[in-house]
Structure 1
Amino acid sequence: MSDPVILSIATAVATGVATKLGEGANALLGKLAQALTRRFVQDPEAQSALVSARFEGPERPQAIEIVAERLERAEEEDPEIRELVGRLRAEATRESDDSVGNVIEGNVSGDARVIMGRDFNGDIRL
């Protein structure tokens, strides 16, 4: 399963719908969609998933998952896609006045602990 931010970016690229992103991010999504379309020409399964997700959107989560997985692979291999995804990731995880964005990267298991919160008032004892 892809990380939630990549899954959101893949959904936005595939469906052309981006919520909570500004006009600049929408332009980045358009550039990323073009780059992925060019790249997916050589990958029939990814191309089919992109087309399917574009027309069926959330009703076709397996298609979006395939797009997300191929997007992650493309991000590793293609500098242009890596740069666009990096900019979109920053935009998608940017905090606004009324929301909290938390991103955890890496393995959180065993003795590791993650504590997230917002607007704490008073003492916190752990």
Structure 2
Amino acid sequence: MTDPFLDSLATALAGQVATALGTAGEKALTKVRALLRRRSQDDPETKAALEAAEQESAGQPQIKALAERLDQVCAEDAAFAEQLRAEGAEVHKEISATDNAVVNVNHGKVKNLIQARDIEGNITFN
């Protein structure tokens, strides 16, 4: 099973969510694609997976294969994984926020944090 983050990037790279991305998401996707193309110059497996997923006729098998390849590459190269996550964060956030979903993002230390969509009633921190 692949990381949901990588699944969302593979889906976006395959062009399956282009209309769901806002301006920031489109810019982030462009950066992710450029990062993968640079990586693919010396990595024929990643290049093949990316090209297959980008084909107009690509479907779920090609998207899954790309996500699995990204998962493998990230496991092998921590620096690349960190860069991919940084570049792809906006894409993942926008894709995850579709279909009336909520995305909560927190960076840093907080004392009390609630991540929720709908809250009915009171919240009390003790």
Same fold (TM over 0.5): yes
What TM-score range do you get, normalising by the shorter chain? 0.5 to 0.7
Structure possessing the higher relative contact order (Cα contacts under 8 Å, 6 or more residues apart): 2
Partner amino acid for 2:101?
S
Which residue pairs with 2:108 in the alignment?
Answer: none
After superposition, the Cα gap between the structure-2 partners of 1:100 and 1:75, relative to the gap in structure 1 and judged at 3 Å, is: same
Per-residue displacement from partner, 1:46-104 (whole Å, max 9, x unpaired)?
Answer: 322221211146x52222112112223333416355224234235533769x631379x
Distance (whole Å) between structure 1 residues aligned to residue 67 and residue 117 of structure 2 = 29
Which residue pairs with 2:18 in the alignment?
Answer: 18
Which residue pairs with 2:110 in the alignment?
Answer: none
Alignment pair present for 1:100 and 2:102? yes
Unpaired runs of 5+ residues, structure 2, are 106-114
How big is the shift at 1:9? 0.8
Distance (whole Å) between structure 1 residues aligned to residue 59 and residue 48 of structure 2 = 12
The two structures have a TM-score, normalised by structure 1, of 0.60
After superposition, the Cα gap between the structure-2 partners of 1:37 and 1:91, relative to the gap in structure 1 and judged at 3 Å, is: closer
Partner amino acid for 1:65?
K
Which residue pairs with 2:29 in the alignment?
Answer: 29
Aligned-residue CA RMSD in angstroms?
Answer: 3.5
Alignment pair present for 1:121 and 2:120? yes
Distance (whole Å) between structure 2 residues aligned to residue 87 and residue 51 of structure 1 = 20
Which residue pairs with 2:48 in the alignment?
Answer: 48
Q: Is the 8 A contact 1:14 1:53 kept in 2?
A: yes
The two structures have a TM-score, normalised by structure 2, of 0.60
How big is the shift at 1:23? 1.6
How big is the shift at 1:4? 2.4
Q: Is the 8 A contact 1:74 1:82 kept in 2?
A: no
Distance (whole Å) between structure 1 residues aligned to residue 55 and residue 63 of structure 2 = 11
Partner amino acid for 1:79?
A
After superposition, the Cα gap between the structure-2 partners of 1:48 and 1:26, relative to the gap in structure 1 and judged at 3 Å, is: same
The percentage of counterpart residues that share the same residue type is 34
Unpaired runs of 5+ residues, structure 1, are 104-115
Distance (whole Å) between structure 1 residues aligned to residue 37 and residue 23 of structure 2 = 21
